Structure 1
Amino acid sequence: MLTDATYIARRLQLLGEWDAALAVLGPDADPELRAEIAVDRWFFQVEGHDEAEQAVAALDPTSSTAHLLTARLAYSRLLFQRPRADDRTVAEDNYRAATRTGTELQRGWAEYHWGVLLDNIDDDGAAAIPRYETALEIATRTGDGLFESYIIRHLAHLQEPAERIAMLRRSLHLRGALGARPQTIAAQAVLAEDLPEDDPERAELLRTYRPGAEELRIGWLLSDVVK
């Protein structure tokens, strides 16, 4: 059963209130939850890397959560152009380890993130597709709409234009329906980027997402870095 603090922290995380989410967690809170929220904050705001790394270092290094979050930190440093010499290897090795342990959803997230590594860092969309497809099958079977929204957002850019726009819209609608504010703002930005410049929907999305990105300090939406 979730404690009140855990429930509140999860809801605040969903709203993109990462500082508040961490603040409500007491000293005896689940260290995996604290690390997950800290990594989430770093990834969206591009702030608090050292705190996130310390939170991950406090976990059992053999756990699936530790593997996933270690890999995500390494990937994010590559993406945000702050790489360490071994980040590419660390990311893939830890995603691979996470696919072998943990819950079905954890294995699915590891497959997805591994695909993103191949897609965004290696520019190898063909190699990423089987990872995405495995992850999507898990997301669909378990009914995890937020997870599905992540996967189809990346699969969309490997499709023809009409299918791409349809998938990006579904990703946006899934996130909005689930109340995932930072993810919804990101989906609005990605859809706007793919629509024609003279499309009224694009103009509306631009007007809508920018104030939200500024309020939540979503670093890569306020710079030239694309997730």
Structure 2
Amino acid sequence: MVSDDAYIAHRLHLLGEWDAALAALGPDAEPELRAEIAVDRWFFRVEGHEEAEKAVAALDPASPAAHLLTARLAYSRLLFRHEPRADDRAVAEAGYRATVENGDEMQRGWAEYHWAVLLDNIDEDPAGALPRYETALEIATRSGDGYFESYIIRHLAPHKEPAERIAMLRRSLHLRAALGARPQTIAAQALLADNLPASDPERAELIRTFRPGAEELRIGWLLSEN
């Protein structure tokens, strides 16, 4: 049974209220949820890396959750060029592989997705990434997890022809909005805008819509890209 504090923290997490979500949990409660929130805060705001690392270090190091979150931190240091470590590429892949081998189905799905993103964004290896995206999408579809699907199709979309790409980006946006996942919705609005023609009125409306939210939540990488 989910505790009241964990439920409140989860809802605040969806809203991008990461500090309030962590405060709702307390320092020793729900370590996996705490680590996930801390890692997400770091990823969206590019701040709080040390706290995120400490939260992940508090987990059982052999657990799939620890492997996955350790890998995500390593990947994000490479992506943001934030004091990347010499072994970050190897650590990221090893963590994803360990989660695929030892996690439950949803953990395996998320690991396949994140592994695909590593191959896609860091290695620039779409041929290696696409089968892992497809495996992750099969799991998301089978489980009916729209939140997870929204992540996968956001990254699959750039590999599709223009009409399918826009349709996938719109679906990702709608899934996120329906679930109340505010930071992800804002990111989806920005990406859809970036893929529409400069003359499209929808593009201008999306930019007017997402920028105030990105500023409020301090998602700096969204503001710098648009």
TM-score of the alignment, normalized to the shorter chain, above 0.5: yes
Deviations 1:131-188 (A, max 9, x none): 0000000000000000000000100000011110000000000000010000000000
Identity of aligned residues (%): 80
Q: What corresponds to 2:69 in structure 1?
A: 69
Q: What corresponds to 1:156 in structure 2?
A: 157
Instruction: After TM superposition, list the pairs within 5 Å mapping 1:91-170 onto structure 2.
Output: 91-170=92-171
Which residue identity is paired with 1:199? D
Which residue identity is paired with 1:15? L
- What secondary structure does 1:99 align onto? helix
Q: TM-score, normalised by structure 2?
A: 0.98
**1:92 and 1:59 mapped to 2: Cα distance?**
19
Q: TM-score, normalised by structure 1?
A: 0.97
Deviations 1:31-76 (A, max 9, x none): 1111010001000000000000011011100000000000000000
Q: What corresponds to 2:3 in structure 1?
A: 3
Shift of 1:101: 1.3
- Unaligned stretches of 5+ in structure 1? none
Q: What corresponds to 1:178 in structure 2?
A: 179
Residue 85 of structure 2 corresponds to residue 84 of structure 1: yes
Shift of 1:125: 1.0
Shift of 1:222: 2.2
**2:174 and 2:31 mapped to 1: Cα distance?**
32
**Corresponding pairs, count:** 225
Alignment RMSD: 0.9
- Unaligned stretches of 5+ in structure 2? none
Q: What corresponds to 1:14 in structure 2?
A: 14
- What secondary structure does 2:60 align onto? coil
Give the structure with the higher percent helix: 2
